[in-house]
Structure 1
Amino acid sequence: MSRPESVPRDGESVHREYILDVRIVTVAPDGADAPRYRFEAPQHRGEEFDSVADAELYADVYFDVNGFQEDGTGDRGVPPEIIQAGRDTLAAYFRTQRYADTAWVASFFGKEPGQIERYIETVRARAEEVREGAVERGVA
């Protein structure tokens, strides 16, 4: 069941819908230079992103770890589900944060940027497998 506040308001539209009432909403307030993208899921406070690519990667991380909550992690904390999921998921999560780009994540892990991109692709593939498997089992 969707949260009441997840219903798009004026200046908003659904960019992408996933299974389990997860979606990305395009937020385009009057006077804004560019739209933002809000990730929404039940039991999740929602996060906004400057780029649709970051919002979609965040959704992939969400499905990769079977959901997580950011509440209580602070501004730069990481949810325990992501820490426990492994290096590739943590790298993908960091890449969605405002303070991190691929070069920052590569430096953090002591890896080349290409390795970080491979980590991200692995997370995307696992998330897609999770979503496809859920649909095959009749989860909407």
Structure 2
Amino acid sequence: MLKKAGYVQTRRRMIRDCDNQENNIIEVIIHGTKFGIRLSELYQAMSGIRSGRIEPIRNNAECRLCGTAGKVFASSSGKAVNITLNNGDRFTVSQRSLRHVLAQCGRYAPLYSVPRTVPVDMQTVFSGDTDYGNVSVIC
């Protein structure tokens, strides 16, 4: 089951990256942490051309994009945009609601977390024990 983890908001603005170049972004708030996606990369990801980057927004003296926190790409059905962070967390937002935000018809689009798949212990698979209730995984 998907749980709401944040939102994508219309607050488009110019923001500088680490190379001091200005970029037009859309903000993504995940569990209270601000990220930015460059609009050119988001449009390419939505159309399935290539994946884009999601970058953390650092707020020292001024807001800046620095580093890459993960990637943004279209789902295989083309009905959603998926975000995968470097730590393994995955999120999704519907393309329909995202297009409303980009067209400024809506203020924000809800972002949902995709549950992690629990890796099965290989020893359990080879031994034939199918009781997965006692399998513990450290993430």
TM-score (norm 1): 0.25
Decide which structure has the larger Cα Rg and report it: 2
Structure having the larger proportion of residues in helix: 1
